[in-house]
Structure 1
Amino acid sequence: MTVDREAPEKPEVIRLAAVDGEPVASPGTGHGLKAVLESNVISHERLPMLEVVCERMVRTFATSMRNLTSDAIDVNLEAITSVRFGDFMGHMSLPALFGVFQVKPWESYGVVTVDAGLIYAIVDALLGGRGGTRTPPPEGRTFTTIEMGLVSRVVQMALDDLALAFEEIAAVTMGLERMESSPRFAAIAEPSNAAAVASYRVSMEGRGGVFSILLPYATIEPVRDKLLQRFMGEKLGRDHIWAAHMASELYNTEVTVDVVLGEKMMSLREVRDLKVGQTIALSHSPDDALQVHCGGVPLGRAHIGQRSSNIAIRMATDIAKGYPK
């Protein structure tokens, strides 16, 4: 007897295609959790207010650079992207400088990266260079103390302008803690953590480069709700019509006002022995001002009397000025 066996199916071949220069994997790429962990795509919610803050920084930082260097400075916001911290730091072109700064109210950190072109442009401008293109330094050369000091001054100035741009969102203070020349010493988050990166290009009369401000999403978490807003108006888009309507409704709200004739400490036995018609003596005379309460909160003092056959009170103190102690 002869048994025919079918040949095993060949495993699916995974091919990569290129769409607009970006490699795109076929549907068979990766399996399950591994595909999610190894994915380079960062899926994170868009933060419109963060884009507004970064765009506002362009104008203030350009003015600060012009005042510092007395040169014609052009600053442009290239892109705001979401990346993994490890991927961004690992793809930085060296030599470069990394400035670690702290956002003090949030007790978190961020990183400012400055590429070699902008570093030498800053040094050349601050030391009185003539401008124009400059021959790049040999590979492996480390930055001197003077170069790092000049760049750190500009980085702190950029952080001050970024904090100024954040004023409409929250009052923050950003202070540069240290400058590093290696990304390994500027690690402030896990490599897999997501971060928002704003990249700026600075042009200074034929010279310049790029610097980037990296903020992990854990750093901006305290103001995430505000960064999700789409518009920045007066006090974050306060609705004056709603506020006026709320105030008018509050003024028309009915409240119960209590007039305290007096208070007396009594034992539980005395309270139990009270009889109908029994008189309780209070420490106030008819001419004394009585306390006026609303929901247990003292409002002021008033005199009690009678008007049109009704018991009435006349305020002796102004409620708007508070209850006298």
Structure 2
Amino acid sequence: MSGERDDPLNPEPLNPEPLRPETIRLAAVDGEPVPRRGLKAVLESNVINHERLPMLEVVCERMVRTFATSMRNLTSDAIDVNLDAITSVRFGDFMDNMPLPALFGVFQVKPWESYGVVSVDAGLIYATVDALLGGRGGARTLPPEGRTFTTIEMNLVSRVVQMALDDLAIAFEEIAAITMGLERMETSPRFAAIAEPSNAAAVATYHVNMEGRGGAFSILLPYATIEPVRDKLLQRFMGEKLGRDHIWAAHMASELYNTEVTVDVVLGEKMMSLRDVRDLKVGQTIALSHTPEDALQIQCGGVPLGRAHIGQRSSNIAIRMATDMSKGYPK
């Protein structure tokens, strides 16, 4: 039998001739690139699957107000700060696409023992230096390409970067108490590598306008850095309370304080056999090991709360606390 047959819908034979090596090479060079498959396609994919972090957006928005105030106090100029976007990128793609010249500030989030990067573009660098050194403002021509940043410029920019990190830490107060310290300033992205190129990170980009001059800076936080507070960052924003409803918390505490509970005073305990319990008669006395001067145990639902002395007041049996319940029951 022949390996071919006539098919009006598929005129090609069932056993087509295999492609020659020359054909494969031409398809890879002259045509479309061969698609990546398997694990390599997953690792090198440009699409990042991530969960939306509503509270991180709130923190970045809150930083706009505090940082604008800090910049006005530092430069005595009219400062306008805007949050351009919050995106998720791979660390390597962000560093490779950062236009140079630029400065990269590596900072540490001390409670989390993790790192982040602040990138400042050339426009904001020269605008900041000009404002701090007494410039009159307005658009200015940037220095020629290839010129490196001086020590004075890096010191002035590092001061502004640290101020931005302090404002970001203040914005994080409702999420977690953290401190961010600038460790070093770098001019090359190769020396600011704090994560693997394929690691995902959240990037908040801000634009600063200083009376006709200014530029942009970005704060990059790898997802591994914010992992300790990931659950809190997933919360939804409810008003200006940064996800915490103080009115509801106060109402809950008030209702708990007004809840009625039954408190038991244990006069004593004695182990008895079932036979002895069955033979108990009316009027029979059970001897306990406690004396009237001993402190008795107070329980609530079987949980020990403290100790108290028993007595009598106004013809009623009363107890007087011997330990403080707020400090827990002494073991």
Cα 1:20–1:98 shift into 2, 3 Å: farther
CA contact (8 A) 2:206 2:217 kept: yes
Q: CA deviation at 1:132?
A: 1.9
Q: CA deviation at 1:40?
A: 1.2
Q: CA deviation at 1:104?
A: 0.8
SS in 1 for 2:220: strand
Distance 1:128 1:22 in 2: 56
Query: Scaled by the length of structure 1, what TM-score is found?
Result: 0.75
SS in 1 for 2:268: coil
Q: CA deviation at 1:44?
A: 0.8
Distance 1:20 1:161 in 2: 53
CA contact (8 A) 1:16 1:23 kept: no
Q: CA deviation at 1:250?
A: 5.7
CA contact (8 A) 1:100 1:112 kept: yes
Q: CA deviation at 1:74?
A: 1.0
Q: CA deviation at 1:112?
A: 0.3
Distance 2:324 2:116 in 1: 53
Please tell me the root mean square deviation across aligned C-alpha atoms, in Å.
5.9
Distance 2:134 2:219 in 1: 27
Cα 1:116–1:284 shift into 2, 3 Å: same
Cα 1:162–1:265 shift into 2, 3 Å: same
- For 2:323, the equivalent position in structure 1 comes to 317
Cα 1:275–1:179 shift into 2, 3 Å: farther
Distance 1:307 1:131 in 2: 82
Cα 1:205–1:170 shift into 2, 3 Å: same
Q: Select between 9-18 and 235-244 the one with higher mean Cα deviation.
A: 9-18
SS in 1 for 2:28: strand
SS in 2 for 1:161: helix
Cα 1:121–1:324 shift into 2, 3 Å: same
Q: CA deviation at 1:136?
A: 2.0
Query: Scaled by the length of structure 2, what TM-score is found?
Result: 0.74
CA contact (8 A) 1:49 1:232 kept: no
Q: Select between 271-280 and 291-300 the one with higher mean Cα deviation.
A: 271-280
CA deviation string 1:221-253 (max 9, x = no partner): 111111111114576544578757866886788
Q: Which residues of 2 match residues 83-102 of structure 1 at below 5 A?
A: 83-102=89-108
SS in 1 for 2:327: coil
SS in 1 for 2:116: strand
Matched, 1:291 2:297: yes
SS in 2 for 1:40: coil
Distance 2:29 2:221 in 1: 29
Cα 1:128–1:15 shift into 2, 3 Å: farther
CA contact (8 A) 2:88 2:203 kept: yes
1:135 equivalent among 141, 144, 148: 141
- For 1:227, the equivalent position in structure 2 comes to 233
Q: CA deviation at 1:211?
A: 0.4
Distance 1:65 1:323 in 2: 53
Q: CA deviation at 1:180?
A: 0.4
Unpaired runs of at least 5, structure 2: 1-17
Distance 2:22 2:38 in 1: 16
Cα 1:142–1:13 shift into 2, 3 Å: farther
Matched, 1:71 2:81: no
- State the number of aligned residues: 312
- For 2:8, the equivalent position in structure 1 comes to none
Cα 1:78–1:20 shift into 2, 3 Å: farther
Q: Identity across aligned pairs (percent)?
A: 91
